[in-house]
Structure 1
Amino acid sequence: MQGHATTHRTIGLADAMLLLVAIIWGSSYAVAKQALWFYPVLGFLAIRFGLTFVLLLPQLRGDGRRAVRPGVPLGLVMLGIFLCETWGVMLTTASNAAFLISLCVVFTPFVEWMMLRQRPSGLLFAASVLSVVGVWLLTGGVGMTLNLGDGLMLAAALLRAVLVCLTRRLTASEQVPPLALTAVQSGVVASGCLLLGVSLPGGLPALPTSPVFWSAALYLVGFATLFALYVQNRALGRTSATRVSLLMGSEPLFGALIAGLWLGERLGLQGWLGGLLILAATFCALRSAARPTSSQPGHAASAPA
């Protein structure tokens, strides 16, 4: 009886920590948008992922070296994701960004269909219809204006779905430590952004001195990346992948709420309805993904790494 109570408390703590991570990831869009007021996208990403790489460098010892081979191509895909996502955040509202990036959960089964020949269920087709209607409402409905920022967020969501499937394919044959894999991917993203930044006319400006920028960068590294990965990995050992997915699926809602409170962004009734339809589509996709096998990963990398 005592053991059951202890297990129940452990699961409750894991759930609470996952909700905290969902709040942190939801806030990351507003934080990144604020950081971009002080420094360009390529420089911001080079700093963010360069710091992450340095902090995770010790993970590449021993078994962590296995992460190098899959980590490089996965890092290149991740580079594309964060270029689209960060420019997208800069060019659209943080609330739109939070809802649109969550579509990667709906896109993933269709990417699996193309890459792995696994046909999605009927529920997933219904989810895709819900998501299309949600995007239509979120971006203006009848007077729909899908701006460049919204388009880049949709591209980032699609690339995240590709990253999930490619990660499964490249890491299926061997146990790759997740923090070591994140280290390699972060190094590739930081290097790619730095090379792109210095090759452009004018290069990168001097490092920003604003404490707001550095607070934002450290918050994203420390909380949205390292702390979030630690909690997610610990929770997966204590509860089901589906439960983790459902709890983490609340991230876009927190993103929209925080954008409203922090940045003063306002979604009208139509925008909220579109966002909630996207959330409903996400949960339908997660529920469908949980049906074939309880070991199938549910929610992978739908939020900033």
Structure 2
Amino acid sequence: MPIAPHSNPSAPSAGSVPRLAWLASPELLLLAVAAIWGASYAAAKPALAHMPVAAFLALRFALTFLVLLPALRPLWRPGGAAGLAVGLVLGLNLLAIFVCETEGLLRTPAGQAAFLISLCVAFTPWVEWALSGRRPALRLFGATAVCVAGTALLALDPQAPAGQATGAALLLAAALLRALMVCLTRRWSVRHTLPSLTLTAVQCGVVAVGAALLALRPGGGGGSGLPASPAFWGAMAFLVLGCTVFAFFAQNHAVRRMPPSRAALLMGSEPLFGALIAVALLGERLTWTGWLGGLLIAGAAAWAGRPARSAPQRPQAQPPSTTSVEPTT
């Protein structure tokens, strides 16, 4: 549930707003998060040329875990054990997400990957239906049909290189697992009192250990050594600090200060940023059918992510009075 921003009596008046106050705009912050997450595909794809997937994930999340170490202090408070158990299970889910997503990105253009991952927004109500039995709104049926059409236009390219269909299937699996993550996080949030950042740190630790174990298996590439390329380490710093630390704080700050429908619309721009950045930085090209399919997916995901409008409540009828009618307050 969004939390209203606290008023600050010492804040400057409207006539004396600092020149950099626009940086605190929740709309601009969410657009920045969407752009950063969209750029993550273009940053990760060339970096994967230097390391196998499992070793790459182990390094990325080990560094993220080290950055988030101070956030683990609440684990030693009452209720920390319950939160740790939830974090371990969600961390395994997150490991599966990133294995599928990164393996899919390795086989698929970054712009296409950004569009396919955005399907998690459309998948989420269906996963919630399977878990809770609550049937999704009627518009979800139409949004799903549009997503299926967009996926067909985007992924089923007869001129695509070998292995791209496998990459698209892995990205669809990652989108479905992301939807499962959202539903499980929401359902299990009542089982613990840990701050979100603490839960994120636990999950990152699980992913780092799990990916390291996958890297150490025969053929996992665990003994490949660390790359010396400055471009690789620049991409890694961007993924750790930009896509995890900054984006996490910025998203949580912004979504508490605006209606959910507006937040979903702004976050829905992530795949479009991903495709545009992949075209600009990696020189990727999408056919017109690919762009059409991607825009259909992004539009349907934004449509599916809109909260349902609640019917206005009718005022309760007052019982008849034999004397006088008191004014309501």
Question: Is TM (by shorter chain) over 0.5?
Answer: yes
Q: 1:58 to 1:114 in 2, by over 3 A?
A: same
Secondary structure of 1:118's aligned partner? coil
- Residue in 2 that maps onto 1:296: none
How well do the aligned residues superpose, as a CA RMSD in angstroms? 2.3
Given that 1:67 and 1:177 are in contact with CA atoms closer than 8 Å, whether structure 2 keeps it comes out as no
Secondary structure of 2:68's aligned partner? helix
1:70 paired residue among 79, 86, 100 = 86
TM-score normalised to structure 1 length = 0.89
Measured against aligned partners, the alpha-carbon deviations of 1:265-302 in whole angstroms (never above 9, x if no partner) come to 00111111000100111111012x34359xxxxxxxxx
How far is the alpha carbon of 1:139 from its aligned partner?
A: 1.7
Measured against aligned partners, the alpha-carbon deviations of 1:60-113 in whole angstroms (never above 9, x if no partner) come to 113673531210000000000000000111100001100000000000000000
Q: How does 1:114-193 map to 2 (within 5 A)?
A: 114-140=130-156, 147-193=165-211
- Residue in 2 that maps onto 1:237: 256
Uncovered stretches (5+) of structure 2, i.e. residues with no partner: 1-11, 312-329
Secondary structure of 1:147's aligned partner? helix
Q: How does 1:5-154 map to 2 (within 5 A)?
A: 13-62=25-74, 65=80, 67-140=83-156, 147-154=165-172
Q: What is the rounded CA distance, in whole Å, between the counterparts of 1:135 and 1:4 in structure 2?
A: 47
How far is the alpha carbon of 1:12 from its aligned partner?
A: 7.1
Given that 2:147 and 2:296 are in contact with CA atoms closer than 8 Å, whether structure 1 keeps it comes out as yes
Q: How does 1:214-233 map to 2 (within 5 A)?
A: 214-233=233-252
How far is the alpha carbon of 1:168 from its aligned partner?
A: 1.0
Q: What is the rounded CA distance, in whole Å, between the counterparts of 2:24 and 2:226 in structure 1?
A: 43
Amino acid at match of 2:135: R
Given that 1:59 and 1:180 are in contact with CA atoms closer than 8 Å, whether structure 2 keeps it comes out as yes
Given that 2:212 and 2:222 are in contact with CA atoms closer than 8 Å, whether structure 1 keeps it comes out as no
Measured against aligned partners, the alpha-carbon deviations of 1:8-39 in whole angstroms (never above 9, x if no partner) come to x7797111111111111110001000110111
- Percentage of identical aligned residues: 51
Q: What is the rounded CA distance, in whole Å, between the counterparts of 1:113 and 1:47 in structure 2?
A: 36
Amino acid at match of 1:262: L
Q: What is the rounded CA distance, in whole Å, between the counterparts of 1:226 and 1:140 in structure 2?
A: 35
Given that 1:10 and 1:238 are in contact with CA atoms closer than 8 Å, whether structure 2 keeps it comes out as no
Q: 1:12 to 1:127 in 2, by over 3 A?
A: farther
Q: 1:12 to 1:194 in 2, by over 3 A?
A: closer
Say which is worse superposed, 71-80 or 206-215, in terms of deviation: 206-215
Amino acid at match of 1:62: P
Given that 2:83 and 2:193 are in contact with CA atoms closer than 8 Å, whether structure 1 keeps it comes out as no
How far is the alpha carbon of 1:213 from its aligned partner?
A: 1.1
Q: What is the rounded CA distance, in whole Å, between the counterparts of 2:23 and 2:36 in structure 1?
A: 20
**Does residue 276 of structure 2 align to residue 264 of structure 1?**
no
Which of the pair has more CA radius of gyration?
A: 2
1:286 paired residue among 305, 312, 328 = 305
Q: What is the rounded CA distance, in whole Å, between the counterparts of 1:109 and 1:188 in structure 2?
A: 27
Given that 1:19 and 1:248 are in contact with CA atoms closer than 8 Å, whether structure 2 keeps it comes out as yes
Amino acid at match of 1:69: A
Secondary structure of 1:267's aligned partner? coil
Given that 1:87 and 1:152 are in contact with CA atoms closer than 8 Å, whether structure 2 keeps it comes out as yes
